[in-house]
Every structure is written in structure tokens, then in C-alpha cells.
Amino acid sequence: MSLKKDFMWGVASASYQVEGAYNEDGKGLNIWDYYCQENQAIAHYENGNVACDHYHRFKEDVANMKKIGAKYYRFSISWARILPNGIGEVNQKGIDFYNSLIDELIANDIEPLITIFHWDYPMELYKLGGWLNPNSSDWFAEYTKVLVDNFSDRVKYWITLNEPQVFIGLGHATGSFAPFRKCSAKELAEMSHNVLLSHGKAVKILRQYAKQNVKIGLAPIGPSYNPASDDQKLIEIAREKTFDLDKDRFTLSLSWWSDPVFLGDYPKKAYEVLGNDMPTIHDGDMELISQPLDFYGVNIYQAEGIVYQDSIQEYHMPCDIYTTGQPLTQMGWPINDDCLYWSCKFLYDRYKLPILITENGTACHDRIFLDGKVHDPNRIDFLTRYLRSLKKASESGIDIIGYMYWSVMDNFEWADGYDKRFGLIYVDYQTQERTIKDSGYWYKSVIESNGENL
């Protein structure tokens, strides 16, 4: 068998992108709630106020997950739905919603996988400085404890943070995502350190207070540089580039976030290029940040670049593609399926932990056809290529434990609004009607065969 018999086949979503009900039942505002209302950075001035109305339609959505054969559902908790002010008073109606969702999943033989934070930072805490506030990691710890107390009896798998490269790098460095700020290198470094301390404290709380033996990971973006061939020289150049960083883009790098967690310190090069802009590191910080984890969760959509014999073609995030005729997804991202193999290889070689693909998928120009169905052969072809690359990684001895397709349904794609459709399930945003796409039924066949039909 090329994939483990207990391989974790699942689907994923994030609270702000699907839930809606942004001001119902005691929920507080988060930075996306606040900045989407009148922000010209969002396509068509759209927002997540209603999104997919998952808050009210979760039973229908879980039933559709069961129809496409999902064994796991990775979803995130809305911090401000649980703690309207970010700390302090707990909103019981928020607890009730997630309890109902978890129970519905379990009743349908779908295992819940919780992401504690997926970008929707409470607005009341942001007013106090957000991640730049030295107390921010304590706020995160308090929030985590509420989740552990209420959900850990039924939830075994936990991810602390989703894509810190994005919510810090794009949210506070490039200014392209909420809260749309452009901060100094010193501020970004201090924020990063507080984010990492938040991760470490959350892990400690999970280990100490969880009501069962939980499995914990982190989910950064993990794009690799791919060698253009199996030439060993190109492979080593690609490996070095994958974990490299520079001062202008350090918050978008892989090693900046992963080395402290998995190796116990920031990359050596970070000290060289940042110098006095490095964060303040107190005694015990790195030990706290590098709490032992059970798996390396990683979101992979594309390569960061391709290494050729005489050149390197780079696809920076946000992606700037100049190659004539380069196959692209609806997001404008290059299609290079080898990235799943090379990312997993480089990550496993460096960090030595089982790998869970926490996100992978593609946005396509989907629509309802005249026959009432959604035919998306381009997504099926994309997934066949990428999953074959993942199987290759598994067959080479890399410990791959699972795959969560992004996303279970079309949803609010952040600054791109609702134009970009990633889902296995089509959502008509005017009627909220759901339609399982061809790719959803195809994915079911892949799960049933444990990938042997790829």
C-alpha cells in the first residue's frame, strides 16, 4: 500500500470564510468583520457577514461531507464567537454552536479536527495592540483553555495556528489582508515572537488539561523550491532556497516560523539579516515555543520557485507570474504538482515529524451547467496530479498521515471576495443552495480506494 491504511482523508474550512452570523448570538467582532465593511481592498466590497451561512446550515453541510466520504473535517473556531472581547466573559451560545457541530460530525462518523486560530483576531484585542502587545500570548492561552475545557473530550486533533506567514506577513507586512497594516521589521519580529509564544502556551495547555490523549500540530504554509530534475546539485540548491530568508520577506519564509517550533531557535541567517531588529527573547522562551508536537501540519498549493541548471524561476507570494503560457489556477497560482513531493521531502528531512497536509486544492471557474450539475474536470485533473505526487512522497518513505482538501465548499476567499471557488461543493450565494461538484464525487472514490485508483 502506498498510503497508510489509516490515512486521514478529509476536508477543511475556516470560521470567517463559511459561518456568517457575524453579529448573532453574542458574537463579538473580529478584524475581518470590522475591516471588510467598507474596505476597498476587498473585491466588490464583499464581506463574510453571511458567507455560506454555515452557522445555521451546518447539519446540511455535514450531511454533504458524509456524501462525499470525508472522514475528517478540519474547521476553525471563531475566537470572538467564544470570547466576544477576546478575553473574559465566555459566550455560551458560541460554545453551544461548536458543541452541536462536533456532535453532528461524530454522529456522521466524521472526526473533528480543530484549528484554534485561522486569522479572525478579536477586534477588542486588536485595539489593545493585537499581536504586538506583550500580553497577547496570555490572551491566546486563556482562549485555548476555554476550548480545551469544552471540546477536548471529543476532539483529538488540534492545530494551534494557521499560516502565520499570512496573518502576519500579509496582514502586517504587505498590508494586503486584515488589518491591512505595514509595520516595521522590528514590529514584525516582535509580533512573530508573540505568535510563537502563543503557540507554545497553547500546546502546554492542551497537554495539561485535555480530557484525552490529543494530537497537536501547527499549520504554516510550506512551499518548496522544486529542482527541475533529479540532479543532486539542483536538489540541494532547492533545499537551501526552501529554507532561506531575507529581511524584506522574512515573515513570509518557512524557516522563520518552523525552526523555532521544531528546532528550538530562529534560523542562524535571521540573526544575521535582522540584527537589532530581532525580537526580544527572554529566558525560557525558546523552550516554551518548541514544545514537542505530534505532526507537522502544512498548507501546500504551489512551488515557491523552480531551480534550473542556470537559473531560478521564482513565484513569490503574492504570486507574480511572468512565464508565457504558464498553467495557472483561478487564483493565478502556477500548477506544479511536484511541489507536494518536494515540500514533504524537505520538511520531513529537516523536522523529522509525520506530515499532515492540512490544505491543498485549487480554485476554478465553476458554474451550474444546463443539466443542473457542476462539472469541474480541471479540478479533478489538478487533484490527480497532486495526490500522485503525495503518493510518491509516501512511497519514498516519508511519513504522510493525511490530506485535508481545501475547501469543503466554496466560500469567502478573503480579499478576493466570492469570485474564487475552491470547494468540492458549489454554493449559490444568492440562494445558499449547495451542489456537490463532480470533483466531490470523484474525491469520494479516491477515499474509498485509499488513493489506489489515482
**Grid coordinates belonging to 386:** 497532486
Contact (Cβ atoms closer than 8 angstroms) between residue 139 and residue 86: yes
Alpha-carbon distance of 90 to 111, in angstroms, equals 25
Q: Is 89 a catalytic site residue?
A: no
If residue 97 lies in a helix (H) or strand (E), which one and from where to where?
Answer: helix 92-107
Distance of CA 147 to the CA centre of its chain: 19
Q: Is 163 a catalytic site residue?
A: yes
The residue type found at 445 is: S
Of the candidates 19, 111, 163, 190, the residue annotated as catalytic is 163
Alpha-carbon distance of 441 to 311, in angstroms, equals 41
Strand residues in 163-246 grouped as ranges (E)? 215-219, 225-227
Q: 164 vs 195, 228, 398, CA distance in Å?
A: 8, 29, 25
Alpha-carbon distance of 250 to 258, in angstroms, equals 12
Distance of CA 68 to the CA centre of its chain: 21
Strand partners, 3: none
DSSP collapsed to 3 states, 331-384: CCCECCCHHHHHHHHHHHHHHCCCEEEEEECCCECCCCCCCCCCCCHHHHHHHH
**Does the CA dihedral 20-22-25-28 come out positive or negative?**
positive
Tell me, what DSSP letter sits at residue 436?
Answer: E
Strand partners, 364: 421
Distance of CA 136 to the CA centre of its chain: 21
**Does the CA dihedral 88-50-360-239 come out positive or negative?**
negative
Of the candidates 104, 190, 359, 413, the residue annotated as catalytic is 359
Cell numbers 482562549 correspond to what residue? 143
Contact (Cβ atoms closer than 8 angstroms) between residue 20 and residue 53: yes
Cell numbers 492561552 correspond to what residue? 141
433 backbone dihedrals φ, ψ, rounded to 5°: -75, 140
- As annotated, the active-site residues are 163, 359
